[in-house]
Structure 1
């Protein structure tokens, strides 16, 4: 029931023998088995540690397959091929990745193991986000590449608890900073008790923490982590997102990763990515010419070709599309430029540090889906030797370049009609996520919003 032997990713993560010792000696009493669902959330079970050792480590665990076919509210809408009353709502297995055993120090006595999801025959369930990324990483290896990537998550902090925010219908929330604190040390120090706890907890949980900084929106901050191999980065991303919310809750605060929580600047998740050879050799840079390689240009061209068609994987929620506004530092143009933040794709670095930054995703992104989409389309560009269009000069917001989808309905239609998506992900995966978008659209379009009430209750 495991997907790999136990080779800890670094000396702060646990091997099976060390986990066994920590449990036997009473320092760990709970083992969390967690997988990532379509919405990018960690779902799973909290297991008594001794029972985990005695039974679950060898025998594994299971959960209902509707967990890959629910909406944000955990409703079970019809229309998914993998999960329905007609199919009996069967189980899927939690295939433990024993490379991912980590302490969760903000929850004393707790360790976590991340899992893949498999069917009864042991095959990975293809529309599982982690399986989608594994498939693209395997595809890259078959072509002679490995992917290195980092995700830069922004979030907004409020001095309002999650419970009080819920009870107030998310009105009159108190931001942790009441003015723009972009790079402002004083502003960051105001929130340092929270930021410090998150940084230190995530270091103990096996991540390489770089720094924290303020951002533009009120109470908006970012904690940066060092880039790593693709699966490690995605695994760390979802653990960090969960843990930071838990730590905020413990301190009577709240954090949101919504792409656009209010009318000010949205929260981004810029993704930096490069390819290396399987032995670590440069592939994005021609050292003799001291310039970008042809492989790099083909990869950029592929990412740009797939950006609109795969936008559901970068912008997975109704709210995601409200972040895309001219002059907002969120992209509206499908264009590339060198160190140009008005473009969806920004090239930075040279030589060993040469990489592309995808500025489309917001803080609400599911990292497995976004990394899968970016890698899949980039590899498509290499396979098809796509020619890179001319670089954007100047302000991409005012250019005639193609624009990113302005709403989920457009993104749904683009994914549904995408031959690229069906080639790289398969028919079943595409239909699954097209239906995911349809479920979200149906829910949103049947809701009565505050905007409608404020405009129409008295005056219409």
Structure 2
């Protein structure tokens, strides 16, 4: 993923320049909708799990919302992935009556949805009555950390790549089967297969064409090792649009697959017998004008600047205590197994895929960090914000990363990562740095939601327990 000067990516379905920087941006947005032939608009905000929560609105309703905002029930921050209400939240709950949050339309996120006739899409920001950020909002978190990077003189450029399973199933059939014995799109272990992508070319082209037309420029698409497993690399962008693209990509893939009678799964570890699904994020810092890669120093023997070394040092130092932000679910930790391409400890290396941090490239165009800790189940806003904040902290405190791992990082003597969500929560709860970097309100609400997640799991009776103890215990 080469890095070049900052630019606005090609977006055939988007027109952000048309709706940004005008005397009447709302008027420009409405004219853009008319030009595109839109008859309705889909608007959505993103919850703490990275799920789009939204609705369709009429053009008249959109015009009103674009000018004055709209109310949006704050229960989206008061329930979990399954719409089960938290019993430990402070920001909302029965004690507040679940009032409306104020939501503001981000006109720069204008898109037409290629697979939905005459439908435009915009993202929302959740704000306080005075217009300030709503503390628990993950999109606002990313924006705040991005502002901090710019205040330090850096322009962050990020790009994500996702691995995911595709099954010949529907939401109804996977439940009827109890999520067992699902039929993958294609059989066998066949990574980088020219054949498999050609055999499923109708779907592959629908995904590629749909994502590109949706403003999610795909740089690479291939099969991964595993039945029905695919990987997609999304072209890098400036931090905030990169976060938006990552969130929208997962939903786009699910929506397009559904139109082919298929189900896409971004679960971190769907099968104990197969490698998990990563959500690696490529990261680099540039000068504010996007002209120079701050990670590269031609005078250094290895091309790595002091800025890059300290960025790595901060990420490594804080990695264990921030893991709950990178691995947000119970299942996330099942991916972290030796010799399965996912890290188990805080390590870095040059072109070393067994490490948590992989430094790529030798020149100014390409030098970057691949943050390999993140899984496909991440909330992209949170994962990107936390990893960037850790790197910036390292630059501020001039944290050295130590020597790179040159061999098998699973055998390295390095700080181990927490093995489950409960342990990760404990480390995050003790972290004063996390609160300093991400804000007390965000970290407090996040901890409450992850504690709830652990409690739900501890009450569950799993298939493994039934198979092991049902008859013989």
- TM-score bracket for the superposition, by shorter chain length: over 0.9
1:8 CA drift (Å): 8.5
| Counterpart for residue 199 of structure 1 | 208
CA contact (8 A) 1:177 1:190 kept: no
CA contact (8 A) 2:66 2:104 kept: no
Which of 206, 217, 227 aligns to 1:218? It is: 227
1:410 CA drift (Å): 0.8
Pairwise mapping of residues 346-357 of structure 1 onto structure 2 (< 5 A)? 346-350=358-362, 351-357=364-370
Relative to structure 1, is the Cα distance of residues 112 and 364 closer, same or farther in structure 2, using a 3 angstrom cutoff?
same
Confirm whether residue 286 of structure 1 aligns to residue 293 of structure 2. no
| Counterpart for residue 276 of structure 2 | 266
Structure 2 CA distance for aligned equivalents of residues 165 and 248 of structure 1: 14
Confirm whether residue 179 of structure 1 aligns to residue 188 of structure 2. yes
CA contact (8 A) 1:181 1:188 kept: no
Structure 1 CA distance for aligned equivalents of residues 229 and 260 of structure 2: 17
CA contact (8 A) 1:70 1:77 kept: yes
1:19 CA drift (Å): 4.8
CA contact (8 A) 2:11 2:217 kept: no
Confirm whether residue 138 of structure 1 aligns to residue 147 of structure 2. yes
1:18 CA drift (Å): 6.4
| Counterpart for residue 333 of structure 1 | 345
Structure 2 CA distance for aligned equivalents of residues 21 and 154 of structure 1: 38
Confirm whether residue 232 of structure 1 aligns to residue 210 of structure 2. no
1:309 CA drift (Å): 0.8
1:20 CA drift (Å): 2.7
Confirm whether residue 396 of structure 1 aligns to residue 409 of structure 2. yes
Relative to structure 1, is the Cα distance of residues 33 and 397 closer, same or farther in structure 2, using a 3 angstrom cutoff?
same
User: Using CA pairs below 8 Å that are at least 6 residues apart, which structure has the higher relative contact order?
Assistant: 2
| Counterpart for residue 297 of structure 1 | 309
CA contact (8 A) 2:356 2:373 kept: yes
Structure 2 CA distance for aligned equivalents of residues 26 and 430 of structure 1: 41
1:49 CA drift (Å): 2.4
| Counterpart for residue 427 of structure 1 | 440
Confirm whether residue 31 of structure 1 aligns to residue 41 of structure 2. yes
| Counterpart for residue 445 of structure 1 | 458
Structure 1 CA distance for aligned equivalents of residues 439 and 98 of structure 2: 23
Structure 1 CA distance for aligned equivalents of residues 34 and 266 of structure 2: 37
Confirm whether residue 454 of structure 1 aligns to residue 467 of structure 2. yes
1:104 CA drift (Å): 0.7
Structure 1 CA distance for aligned equivalents of residues 388 and 46 of structure 2: 19
Pairwise mapping of residues 29-428 of structure 1 onto structure 2 (< 5 A)? 29-53=39-63, 55-263=64-272, 264-280=274-290, 281-289=292-300, 291-350=303-362, 351-428=364-441
Structure 1 CA distance for aligned equivalents of residues 36 and 288 of structure 2: 41
Structure 2 CA distance for aligned equivalents of residues 23 and 208 of structure 1: 22
Structure 1 gaps of 5+ residues are 1-6
1:393 CA drift (Å): 2.2
Structure 2 CA distance for aligned equivalents of residues 26 and 413 of structure 1: 50
1:452 CA drift (Å): 1.1
Structure 1 range deviating more: 301-310 or 69-78:
69-78
Relative to structure 1, is the Cα distance of residues 422 and 261 closer, same or farther in structure 2, using a 3 angstrom cutoff?
same
CA contact (8 A) 1:147 1:229 kept: yes
Q: TM-score, normalised by structure 2?
A: 0.92
Pairwise mapping of residues 2-41 of structure 1 onto structure 2 (< 5 A)? 10=10, 12=12, 13-14=14-15, 15-16=18-19, 19-21=29-31, 23-24=33-34, 27-41=37-51
Structure 1 range deviating more: 320-329 or 159-168:
159-168
Structure 1 CA distance for aligned equivalents of residues 304 and 187 of structure 2: 43
Structure 2 CA distance for aligned equivalents of residues 35 and 226 of structure 1: 23
1:394 CA drift (Å): 0.9
1:180 CA drift (Å): 1.1
Structure 2 CA distance for aligned equivalents of residues 25 and 363 of structure 1: 36
Q: Which SS does the other structure have where 1:309 is aligned?
A: helix
1:287 CA drift (Å): 2.4
Q: Deviations for 1:277-299, whole angstroms, at most 9, x for unmatched residues? A: 10222211112346211111000
CA contact (8 A) 1:8 1:99 kept: no
1:22 CA drift (Å): 5.8
1:257 CA drift (Å): 0.2
Q: Deviations for 1:207-231, whole angstroms, at most 9, x for unmatched residues? A: 2222210001210001222111111
Q: Deviations for 1:287-340, whole angstroms, at most 9, x for unmatched residues? A: 234621111100000011111111111111000000000000111121111001
Structure 2 gaps of 5+ residues are 1-6, 20-26
Q: Which SS does the other structure have where 2:198 is aligned?
A: helix
Q: TM-score, normalised by structure 1?
A: 0.95
Structure 1 CA distance for aligned equivalents of residues 36 and 411 of structure 2: 62
Structure 1 range deviating more: 439-448 or 119-128:
119-128
